[in-house]
Structure 1
Amino acid sequence: MEHHVVRNPSRAIWLSQNHILDTLLSYRSKPQLALKFFKQKRGIVKSVDAFCLLLHILSPSPETCQAARNLLNNYLLRDSCYSPRVLVEHMVELEGRYHLSSDSRVYSYLLNSCVRANKVKDAVDCFKTMLEHDIYPWVPYVNVLLTAMLRRNMIDELHDLHDEMVKRKIYGDCYTLHIVMRAHLREGKAEEAEKYFGQALDRGMKLDAAAYSIVIQAACQRTCTNLACKLLKEMKDMGWVPSMATYTSVICACVKQRNISEALRLKDEMVNSGIPMNIIVATSLIKGYCVKGDVTSALQFFYEIVEAGLTPNKVTFCVLIGWCSKIGNIEKAHKLYCQMKLMGIQPTSYIISDLLRGFLKEYLLEDAYKLFDEAVEHGIANVVTYNVLLSWLCVEGKVEEASNLWDKMMNKGIVPSLVSYNIMMLGHCRKGCMDDALSVMNDILKRGLKPNAITYTQLIDGFFKKGDFKHAMDVFDQMEYANIAPTDFTFNTIINGLCKLGRMSEMKDMMNKFVERGFIPTSMTYNSIINGYVNEGAINSALPAYKEMCEKGISPNVVTYTSLINGYWKSNNIDSALKMLNEMKNKGFELDEIAYSALIDGFCKRQDMENASKFFSELLEKKMKSENIPCDLPTYTTLIDGFMKDGKLSFALDLYSEMLSQGIVPDLILYTVLINGLCNEGQLENARKILKEMDGNKIAPTVLIYNTLIAGHFRKGNLQEAFRLHDEMLDRGLVPDDSTYDILVSGKLKG
């Protein structure tokens, strides 16, 4: 037998591939035979040209187009295959070589198979190659690719690809419009989505209800409710019923703009269209009522939806409990909380925190701690919950309790936030414990947290309040070195601190530097400056600051007027003080407690007790009517002292009794005022009772109080009692001063 030796195997393969191509071409009009032939050549490695040629033959025929799709799907699922871009190049080359007619069908199938094989990036390259060769796949298949890109968040690539299409005036269809608009919305570019919608409208594209729904969503994202409502009307005029989601978007947008009446109208329109109200709409409307300050209507609406069978969710309860707590209706907030738990809805840390704030605000400490302990026990309490209680304790001056709570939080494995550290620092600064405050700062740095402007500003304020100018400014320098930009709060704190310390010339220099850095002084800034001059007794320097403030268009407020009135009182310029008071009233400002206190103090110093009593009565009536709480201790002290000095002892004692009935506990200053007044009036027995009352309230009497009592008994000739009081003073560990010995020698209290 004669053996044929193949001297060049690669040439044999080439001849074999040519044979396959020629045979396939002979079956151009018989695609089923072409497919059969291709499948029969198993074991023979077929070239990419053969594969692409077969696709060209199969795709146009209705009988074999599905076979073409199957071949592509299987091919692209293989690990080793040519990239789709290469397939396009080969298909284009074959068209030229064999004069094949270009059919976008085969390219559409290729694009679709790429997406199905999860080769989206290859599909993008493939489509770009098609565009380079002026091949335009069918729009539905392009939309499949664009949708896949949107799902994979390939937003930038999607826009680039779409721009390439638009350059070639390929605008796609309405579904293309949907995809591109959704892409713009996903990246927060609602205006771009609206613009694209307008362009499609101008091109005469036939839009559908979905396109209107998306552009309405875009308008709502920008809270352009007028545009959203206009588009909603257009949609309805075209005979389309907006979906629940569309109505929900517009209603929520109206609520955000506080247009609750329009939101309610749309809610009724939605329900009348046969679309039931959902809990998102209901919760949004409830929040809308609350934001407008109408919590009563919010609660009424809540009960209506519950009665109608709508089940509230966590967000609904969170909104209502939060607002009820905020306005002080803590009883209703707690009832809602209990109702929520009965419904099997697990409270969130936000709900717990809101309710906790409400309890603490109303001083319902037992309820507050019970709620907090439950939240800790059930694992709901997080760092925010702990921060609420820490903040309240620090504001109340209970820093030691706050420190104990801090330890418990750490033991529970809850990591403190920067806010937590700032709260503790504020507590120490308010107590004047600056070493502890600095220790907190060290802990912040050790834990790798970055202190913020609030952290540094609190430290600066703490040192200023301690009168420590140097350390306050050192902290400011550290803040700048750490590249923490000072805020207006920081600048105002420094200006206020300098004014409080009477360093007015340094304040001026600092103010100029801050202004050069872009700081714009506010009423708070000028109030600090005016008050600084007033405290120095320099009303004539305070007035130019007031004038400058007004010239810059910064409106004076109650604090401004109160400082100026106080300044006029100090300089004994009563007429100007009263003139400033009238100006304040004419501008519609109501006196606050500080203003009343300044006026009462001024009139008391002038021994004008009639006007002092008049303003005190006004203050008392105002506070009881609006807040149902009594006046504060300093105001009572000022007025009692005034009546004592005016010789109206009975008025003073009646006022003291009234104060006690309000639950206000006297302090050392008031006790000193009372004992001094009683001794001056010769009521030594009543003075002795006050001393005994001090012991009952665990307030230690001072040398001054004993000096006053000893002098009073000397005047009455009660020498034995005077020396007994001297011995009692020594027993208490008090060291007599020069005044004590003057009294014992001369029987008079000097000064």
Structure 2
Amino acid sequence: MYSRVSAAPLLYDSDYSTSICESNSDSESNLLREDVHEVKTIELFSVVVRVVKTLNWKVTRKVCFPIAVQKYGFDQSLMGFKMFVYVYACAEMQMEVYALLREIVCYYQKAQLNMFGLLYALLDSPCDAKGSTFLVNALIKVFASNNMLENAIDAFEQARRIGFQLGIRSCNFLLKCLAEDNERDSLVTLFKEMKNYGPYPNLYTYTIMMSFYCSGHHGQGTVDIEEATNILEEMETIGISPSIVTYSVYVLGLCKVGLIELALDLIQELKRNCRPLNCYCYNAVIYGFADRGEPDKAMQVFNEMKNGGIAADVYSYSILIEGFCRCGDVEKGLSLFEEMGNNNIIPSLVTYSSILKGLCRNGLMEISLNWFKKIGASGYEYDQHAYNILITGFCVQGDMDSANKLLEEMLNNSLAPNPVSYKSLILGFCKIGSLEKALKFFNNMREAGFLPCPVTCNHVIFGYCKEGQLKEALRLIDEMRDLGISPNMFTYSAVVNRLCKERKSEKALELIPVMLKCNTFPSVVIYSTLINGFAKQANPRKALMLYTKMLKVGICPDSVTFTILINVLSTGGRVKEAYNLFKEMISKGLEPDKISYTSMIAGFCRSKDMKKAWGLFQEMVQSDIVPSVVTYTCLIDGFCKVNHMDMVTMLVDEMNKNTVCPDQITYSVLIRGCQKLGYVDSAPQLLNKMKKRGILPYEDGNGYKNLHEEEDEDVDTGFNPFLEKTNSAEASSSMSSVAQDLEWMLLIVQQKFLQPFNPQENI
């Protein structure tokens, strides 16, 4: 049965060491003169003999390979352990062979010996094919389980060249380890060699390959559904019937790439063919629909699963609860939670967290706190995630006192804040304008060893800019770069916006090269902010230059950009160019808004082209865009200038009907109209009416307009499309009072029409 290598120790008696001790004095002195190393070798092989006779694992374990090497030398130890391995291999004792080979491999690895020669060292005198094959299979498993995949593949190749028929289990184990380690090339090669030379792949082999392609662990980070489908088709071709696990993995892969309907069709086909299904197949589809924001479809699949006799598990319910809560239907989430209890399914901490998040998203913080207490009452220990949900909820609501209390409770429960906790608190304090407290947590976060994310840094930078602390904002941007945190366009947008507000557009423009140097490309928002900044500084030439540069670098303007430029051009008297831009904006598929129309109408009114101004106004109304007080004021001013008081009357009447409140500029324009009509006595009455309402007339910088002056000076409507707002005092006044004022003004302007207005005629 055994080879000549392992037969030598059989010449020695198993109790040889005892006989040495009991020999006469002559034998002892002869033994003392023998080489000490030979004596030690005899001791080792006496253990081998005992193991051969008894297969006693306890006896084998008395000899550890590293200690044996120290005591008996490497060569003798390897020979002895090789005999141990063969003894247990021939007896097909897997665990014992595995343990012995692992000791040898670990020693080789620690001593940095040539591992590639180990297989040949173990097989230099094989006992028989069966024992050797058993040894090779075990060695492959040892290499693979210790992540020595290159050595495992080499052992596989050597065994194949020698002619051993390896076992499917060891090959599948190696295949699984290669898949888990993302070794795509080696995995595919081994799979092909198994198909070509054996052992031929079985159901488990194909399931490993299916899992590899469907899990995204194929070196690309995404699911390779095409290869997964090929695996399924190959199985059907060769007659291997996929198991429920194989189908579950494939269904999950389909859902991961968004083919949820196809996954559902497959499940329904399997159901029609009476193939086995489980809740894992359905859960993948339920999750797919829920994650896509379609919880109602997910619910339909859930009901189909239950109607098919497959019981839902905690994951099924948790997925649905999360889906409904994320879409704002917390009531449905709570209903499903109650159903879980009725079905004796114990909710997990994830289930509770989903309910908490749903309640917090809907601003139901008191109910959220009650649910939070319910988690503790259910026997779960609070974790950071549960606290963070509540802290974030309170921060979003601006209730920073409650958020702070939860943080203190979290610390008392020996739970340290994590980056999510700090981020929520920093964003919350920035939101309510408490920059000092936000900075406190920002510094605490860094002291705790957490690197803030770009979003957190951006909010602090926004806070600095809001407070006008530009130096601090720029310093933080430099620190971000030093820490390896890349500033993005939102980071620079805050600084650019603040500089432009402070009328330092040239300084803001200097940030563009800095951004490009950091591989951050300015967005349309940043260019629009700069263009608007130069426009406010009465530098239209620079604004238009930036627009040209913006087009050259391939940045498409949006409706805001066009509106700014339209206002710049029309204010500068270049109404024709402004109108061309307006038409270009529409041709690019951008819909003009209230500000865009008002900008263009204001331009035509300035140039007294009331036909086009009126045409745009009608187009604006037909597009269901409600004109603002600024829009009406521009038109009233324009028609006053061309003496078409009938149109002024109609516009004032329409303001009254649409409950649009006049502002100080509207009053000033109407007063000016009264002057032009010669109603000098009516104008002071209107002025007194304004003062009683708390609205002061328009001031040009040199004092109020002299209402008795007869110069034909234009009244500036003061239109700025980006500063359009409603006077708070005016908004708080009763609409009945506004209506009375408008009716009174209407009577004044109706007293005398200079000439009727015909929109079809040129003015």
Structures share fold, TM-score greater than 0.5: yes
CA contact 1:76–1:117 (8 Å) conserved in 2: no
| Cα distance between partner residues in 1 of 2:261 and 2:46 | 70
CA distance in 2, matches of 1:407, 1:687: 51
Q: Give the C-alpha shift of residue 322 in structure 1.
A: 3.5
- Which residues of 2 match residues 413-424 of structure 1 at below 5 A? 413=411, 415-424=416-425
Q: Which residue of 2 aligns with 1:468?
A: 469
Cα separation, partners in 2 of 1:119 and 1:392, compared to 1, 3 Å: same
Are 1:88 and 1:130, in contact at CA under 8 Å, matched by a contact in 2?
no
| 1:9 aligned partner, one-letter code | E
2-structure distance, mates of 1:501, 1:325: 44
Match of 2:620 among 587, 603, 615: 615
Q: Which residue of 2 aligns with 1:439?
A: 440
Matching of residue 532 in structure 1 with residue 533 in structure 2? yes
Contact map agreement 1:640 1:656 (CA 8 A) in 2: no
Residue 189 of structure 1, aligned match among 171, 180, 183: 183
Query: 1:49: which partner in 2?
Result: 45
**Residue deviations 1:342-400 (CA, integer Å, cap 9, x gap):** 44555556555655555565xx54x453134322443377544554555555556x3xx
Counterpart residue number, 1:303: 303
Q: Does residue 174 of the first structure (1) align with residue 175 of the second (2)? A: no
Cα distance between partner residues in 1 of 2:79 and 2:360:
80
The offset of 1:305, in angstroms, is 1.7
Q: Which residue of 2 aligns with 1:39?
A: none
Residues matched between the structures, number: 623
TM normalised by structure 1 equals: 0.69
Aligned-pair CA distance for 1:94: 9.3
Write the deviation string for residues 614-662 of structure 1: whole angstroms up to 9, x where unpaired. 5366356xxxxxxxxxx8xxx75545766886564443343338xxxxx
Aligned match of 1:220 = 214
Aligned to 2:312: 312
Q: Which of 405, 408, 415 in structure 2 is aligned with 1:407? A: 405
Give 5+ residue unaligned stretches, structure 2. Answer: 1-21, 109-114, 217-222, 606-612, 638-647, 672-682, 699-703, 709-763
Could you tell me how far apart the structure 2 residues matched to 1:262 and 1:683 are? 72
2:487 is matched with: 486
Query: In the alignment, what sits opposite 1:131?
Result: 120
Match of residue 160, structure 1, among 141, 151, 154: 151
- The equivalent position to 1:6 in structure 2, one of 25, 33, 44, is 25
Q: Does 1:120 align with 2:102?
A: yes
Which residue type is aligned with residue 375 of structure 2?
H
Structure 1 equivalent of residue 580 of structure 2: 579
Change (3 A) 1:574 1:276: farther
Instruction: Tell me how far 1:257 sits from its aligned partner.
Output: 0.9
Partner secondary structure for residue 240 of structure 2: coil
Distance 1:315 1:506, change over 3 A: farther
Q: Which residue of 2 aligns with 1:426?
A: 427
Separation in structure 2 between the aligned mates of residue 252 and residue 276 of structure 1, nearest angstrom: 16
**Structure 1 residue 470, shift from structure 2 partner:** 2.2
1:605-644 pair list within 5 angstroms:
608=613, 611-612=616-617, 614-615=619-620, 618=623, 636=628, 638=630
Alignment-derived partner of residue 594 in structure 2: 596
1:208 aligns with 2:199: no
CA distance in 2: counterparts of 1:337 and 1:201, whole angstroms:
49
2:43 partner letter: S
Check whether the contact 2:140–2:156 (CA below 8 A) recurs between aligned residues: no
| AA in 2 matched with 1:47 | E
Q: Partners of 2:279 and 2:431 in 1: how far apart?
A: 45
Structure 1 pair 176/581, CA: closer, same or farther in 2 (3 Å)?
A: farther
Cα deviations by residue, 1:523-580 (Å, 9 ceiling, x for unpaired): 4443443443344454443344334444434444444444444444544544444433
1:242: Cα distance to partner? 0.7
Supply the AA of the counterpart residue of 2:370. D
The 1:529/1:139 distance shift into structure 2, 3 A limit, reads: farther
**Per the alignment, in what secondary structure is the counterpart of residue 594 of structure 2?**
helix
| Aligned 8 A contact 1:678 1:684 in 2 | no
Give the CA deviation at 1:14: 9.2
Match of 1:35 in 2: none
Provide Cα deviations, 1:691-740, integer angstroms capped at 9, x if missing partner.
6xxxxxxxxx79889xxxxx99x99xxxxxxxxxxxxxxxxxxxxxxxxx
Contact residue 53 and residue 91 of structure 1 kept, 8 A: no
Pairwise CA RMSD = 4.8
CA contact (8 A) 1:437 1:459 kept: yes
Q: For 1:556-705, what aligned pairs fall within 5 Å after superposition?
A: 556-591=557-592, 595-600=593-598, 602-603=600-601, 608=613, 611-612=616-617, 614-615=619-620, 618=623, 636=628, 638=630, 648-656=651-659
**What SS does the corresponding residue of 2:476 show, helix, strand or coil?**
helix
Higher relative contact order (CA 8 A, sep 6+): 2
Give the match's secondary structure for 1:312.
Answer: coil
Determine whether 1:74 maps to 2:50.
no
Q: Deviations over 1:38-80 (max 9, x none)?
A: xxxxxx996223444677xx6xxxxxxxx45x13x23223367
Change (3 A) 1:522 1:141: farther
**How far did residue 339 of structure 1 move?**
3.4
- Structure 2 matches for 1:142-157, cutoff 5 A? 142-147=136-141, 153-155=145-147, 157=148
1:167-198 Cα shifts (integer Å, max 9, x gaps): 56367343332111111122233454223212
Tell me the alpha carbon deviations over residues 277-336 of structure 1, each in whole angstroms, 9 at most, x when there is no partner. 222221211233345554442222222223333333343334333433444445544443
Amino acid at match of 1:615: M
Q: Percent identity?
A: 18
Amino acid of the structure 2 residue aligned with 1:655: N
